[in-house]
Amino acid sequence: MEAWVPLFDIFLNSPSPEFDASLWFSSNSLTNSTTTTSTNSFLKLLSKPIDTISTNPSSSIQSKRFLYIQTLPDAVQSRILSFLTTESKRFCKRELCLLAENVLNGSEEVDFWVKKSAHNLLDKMSDSGFRQFSTLNLNGLEEEEEFFALPSCLQSCSHSKSSVLPWLPLTFDELRESASVSCIADEGSDEAMEVEELCEVEENGEVLNQVDVSIDSEVRTKAGSLKMKLLECESAKRTENLANEIRQLCFEADGKEVRNSFGVLGLIEPWEVDDETASILITNLLGVNANESELSWASKVLCSIILPKLLVLNEPASRVLVTTTIESCKPRQKAAVDALLFPLVLCKEGLNTHLCDVMSRIIKECLHPAHVSAFCQRLLCGEEESRKFICLPCHQHLVSDKLVWTEPLFMLFQNILNQNVSLTQDSIEHLVSVVRELAGKYSESLKFSTFLLCLVTKCHSSLKHHKLILIPTVELTNTFMTKSILSKLNSL
């Protein structure tokens, strides 16, 4: 019994008992060749019957029999069962099942967390293909069958061959009648609505790298005139009037956006104006409040005015441009992601320091951490379909379909991690693969090492399985931070 005292002390006091107990068993296996006996003897100890005597003044002395594990505090029982679930490969599956069953079927009331841990252990054994539950109560199986059974109102129709679906009491004739009635009632308006919705979905769901709607000569002439007026405009009032004229050209009288509005903005070339004029132009084109119905319009405005300026940014962005970008993106998060963040991070020449600063401001001040995590997941792990963004055809040559890993891009992900954004497991695994691939290239880079330290610090719980891979990768670096990173990895 004394040999198990350190292990029970771990279950009683350790903040991470499963991990520490696993290390304890691993260290014992190095000094004790009978590892199987050791693990089996631990299960035998937990399953050992213990006779207890209860004295009740109103009755005679009563003797009760418990398993050894049932004499321990509830918290310790729960931790032990959780450990057995996590490290089930170390133990005999049959003995694990019997232990969990006996805990659940005990005569005394079982604590909620102990019961939950025991059920988790049985579930783990079931998932691993083990089906030998000799003493398991079958009442739960009957309740499960009742839970998944069809409602009584549908049971009579479940075997009907004329039903659309086995569980749906609707015949083909009834379905045809309802479909024909709805088509006749709304034939005119619904067809137009479906066409418009389909066009909107297609427009929002793919890269706008071409303007496929023809623009008549009159609109082209007006757009060319507005382009010249914008370049010559010097007053704020005049800019406001020109913004109203642009909206009139891109919207119909009833306020509905015209199909060729994106092409019109491409002809006007509003990105050529200075930052002060662009600020006034955006404010008047978008308005103060974000309107859900104008989401497509907001994306087009952002990628027609702000995006071209940022794609060629080779110096710190002006205060006016940054402020305008932040104020425009705050109430329009989806437009900010589709029209700015995605095309910017996929810049063909790679992210530079100035662009990294602007993107970090947008992410920090405009997006919720959950949105940032989703953006990173789409960027790192998503297929080509999920990376689609909005961009004018004349700027398409500045954007790539793949990430170009530069030092500022690592800085961007470091800034994201420092904002306590919880990245998904597949995003972290992709970052690990990138780090392994580029460690030799950036072995002398202090920024790369800083990102590595941030990744190991912020995502330590998700990197335990990558520890053996990351250690030789970090050893390839040659900066004063290398030892700190290795120390963090060794403590995982």
Higher per-residue confidence, 237 vs 287: 237
Q: Would residue 170 count as lying in a domain?
A: no
- CA dist 24 and 491 (Å) reads 15
CATH number of the structural domain spanning residue 248 = 1.25.40.480
**Cα distance between residue 242 and residue 236, in whole Å:** 10
In a domain, 307, yes or no: yes
By the 8 A CB rule, do 85 and 37 touch? Answer: no
Q: What is the pLDDT of residue 327?
A: 92
Task: Determine the pLDDT at residue 261.
Answer: 84
Q: Which of 420, 425, 412 is closest to 358 using CA atoms? A: 412
* Rounded Cα distance, 452 and 477, in Å: 10
Name which of 121-125, 207-211, 271-275 the model is least confident about. 207-211
Q: What's residue 37's pLDDT?
A: 43
**Residue 243 shares a structural domain with residue 283:** yes
Specify whether 347 is located in the same domain as 462. Answer: no
On whether both 340 and 350 belong to a single domain, the answer is yes
Q: Among 383, 366, 354, which Cα is nearest to 302's? A: 366
Q: Is the pLDDT of residue 190 over 80?
A: no
pLDDT band at 176 (very low <50, low <70, confident <90, very high): low
Q: Is 0.75 topped by the overall pTM?
A: no
- Whether 196 maps to a domain, the answer reads no
Note whether 406 and 438 are same-domain residues. no
Answer yes or no: are the C-beta atoms of 92 and 130 closer than 8 Å: no
pLDDT tens digits, 397-438: 999 888 999 999 999 999 999 998 989 989 999 999 999 999
Report d(CA 269, CA 39) in Å as an integer.
73
Mean pLDDT of 75-104: 85
User: Of the ranges 162-176, 282-296, 442-456, which one carries the lowest mean pLDDT score?
Assistant: 162-176
Return the pLDDT at 134.
43
Task: State how far Cα 273 lies from the chain centre.
Answer: 38
| Structural domains counted in the chain | 3
Considering the domain architecture, whether residues 391 and 460 belong to the same structural domain is answered as no
Q: Alpha carbon of 68 to those of 52, 88, 172, 491: distances in Å?
A: 11, 19, 63, 34
Q: What is the pLDDT of residue 54?
A: 58
Task: Let me know if residue 121 belongs to a domain.
Answer: yes
Which of 117-126, 168-177, 273-282 is the least confident region? 168-177
More confident residue, 484 or 23: 484
pLDDT band (50, 70, 90) for residue 165? low
Q: Are residues 234 and 105 in the same domain?
A: no
Evaluate whether residue 137 is within a structural domain. no
206 within some domain? no
Domain final residue pick, 422, 447, 464 = 422
Task: Supply the pLDDT for residue 466.
Answer: 87
Residue 317 has pLDDT above 60, yes or no: yes
Do 254 and 349 sit in the same domain of this protein?
yes
Between 134 and 472, residue with greater pLDDT = 472
Same domain, 308 and 362: yes
Three-state SS sequence of 414-447: HHHHHCCCCCCHHHHHHHHHHHHHHCCCCCCCHH
Average pLDDT rounded to a whole number, residues 78-82: 88
Q: What pairs with residue 388 in β-bridges?
A: none
- Looking at residue 196, what is its pLDDT? 42
- Name the pLDDT band for 23 (thresholds 50, 70, 90): confident
396 and 440 part of one domain: no
pLDDT reading at 166 higher than 70: no
**Are residues 329 and 297 part of one domain?**
yes
Q: Determine the average pLDDT of the residues in 349-357.
A: 93
Calculate the dihedral angle through the C-alpha atoms of 117, 123, 126, 132, rounding to the nearest 10 degrees.
50
Q: What is the mean pLDDT of the segment spanning 477-488?
A: 91
Three-state secondary structure string covering 123-144: HHHHHCCCCCCCCCCCHHHHHH
State residue 154's pLDDT score.
58
pLDDT of residue 185: 41
The alpha carbon dihedral of 23, 27, 29, 30 has a sign of positive
Average pLDDT, the chain: 79
Residue 153 is assigned to a structural domain of this protein: no
Contact present, 474 and 490 (Cβ < 8 Å):
no
444, 471: one domain: yes
Of the residues 422, 441, 466, the one at which a domain ends: 422
pLDDT of residue 358: 95
Task: Check whether residue 416 and residue 433 sit in a common domain.
Answer: no
> Rg (Cα) of the chain, in Å, rounded?
33
What pLDDT is recorded for position 147? 42
Please report whether residue 165 resides in a domain. Answer: no
Print the domain residue range for 97.
2-49+65-125
> What's the rounded Cα separation, in Å, for the pair 13 and 21?
11
Predicted confidence band of residue 339 (pLDDT cuts 50, 70, 90): very high
Q: pLDDT value at position 376?
A: 92
Among 12-21, 212-221, 395-404, 473-482, the range scoring the smallest mean pLDDT is: 212-221
Q: How confident is the model at residue 65 (pLDDT cuts 50, 70, 90)?
A: confident
